[in-house]
C-alpha cells in the first residue's frame, strides 16, 4: 500500500493499533497495518465501482467509514446512504483530522459541542458538519 507522507509519519510515530477517539476506531488491539489491509479488503469487496487504490480506509465509526486519499492526504467520510462518489471531505490532512477529533472530544466533555461545530464549519465547511456532529 502507498501512503501519503502525513499519514505515514503519524502511524510510524504513534501506535494506532488500539486507538479510538470521538467514536472513530482506528484499531482493535491488532497491528494497525494488518487492520488497514483488512479494512481495504472489506471495502474492495463491497462492489464500490469507483473505489480505487487511490483511497485507503483508515478507520470506522458507528456510522461512517473514514478514508484517506493517498495522493492528496485529504480525509473523507462516507456511509451506506452516501454514495462513494459523494463522499464528504472532513479534513485536509490526517494530522489535522486527529487533532480535530481530540478537540471534539475535549469540547464534548466540557459541554461545548456547539462551539466545536462552529470551528468545524469554519475549517472544513458546511458539508462536513453531519460527520463532525457525530463526534460531539
Note whether 71 and 4 are within 8 A (CB). yes
pLDDT at 44: 61
State mean pLDDT over 98-112: 97
Q: Average pLDDT, whole number, for the chain?
A: 88
φ and ψ at residue 106, rounded to 5 degrees? -65, -45
Q: Is 20 helix (H, G, I), strand (E, B) or coil?
A: strand
pLDDT in tens, 41-91: 766 655 454 556 788 889 988 889 899 999 999 999 988 788 778 899 999
* pLDDT > 90 fraction of the chain, expressed in percent and rounded: 58
Which domains are present in the chain?
5-135 (3.40.1580)
User: Model's pTM, two decimal places?
Assistant: 0.89
Q: Is 29 exposed, middle or buried (0-12, 13-18, 19+ CB in 10 A)?
A: exposed
pLDDT bracket for residue 8 (50, 70, 90): very high
pLDDT bracket for residue 134 (50, 70, 90): very high
pLDDT above 90: residue 17: no
Residue in the structure block whose three cell numbers are 469540547: 107
pLDDT at 46: 57
Amino acid at each position: 500500500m502507498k501512503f501519503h507522507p502525513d499519514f505515514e509519519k503519524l502511524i510510524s510515530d504513534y501506535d494506532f493499533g488500539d486507538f479510538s477517539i470521538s467514536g472513530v476506531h482506528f484499531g482493535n488491539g491488532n497491528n494497525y497495518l494488518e487492520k488497514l489491509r483488512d479494512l481495504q479488503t472489506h471495502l474492495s469487496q463491497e462492489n464500490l465501482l469507483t473505489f480505487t487504490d487511490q483511497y485507503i480506509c483508515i478507520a470506522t465509526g458507528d456510522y461512517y467509514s473514514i478514508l484517506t486519499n493517498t495522493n492528496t492526504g485529504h480525509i473523507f467520510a462516507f456511509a451506506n446512504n452516501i454514495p462513494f462518489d459523494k463522499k464528504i471531505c472532513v479534513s485536509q490532512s490526517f494530522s489535522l483530522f486527529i487533532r480535530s477529533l481530540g478537540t471534539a472530544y475535549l469540547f464534548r466533555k466540557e459541554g461545548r459541542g456547539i462551539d466545536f461545530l462552529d470551528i468545524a464549519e469554519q475549517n472544513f465547511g458546511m458539508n462536513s458538519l453531519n460527520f463532525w456532529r457525530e463526534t460531539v
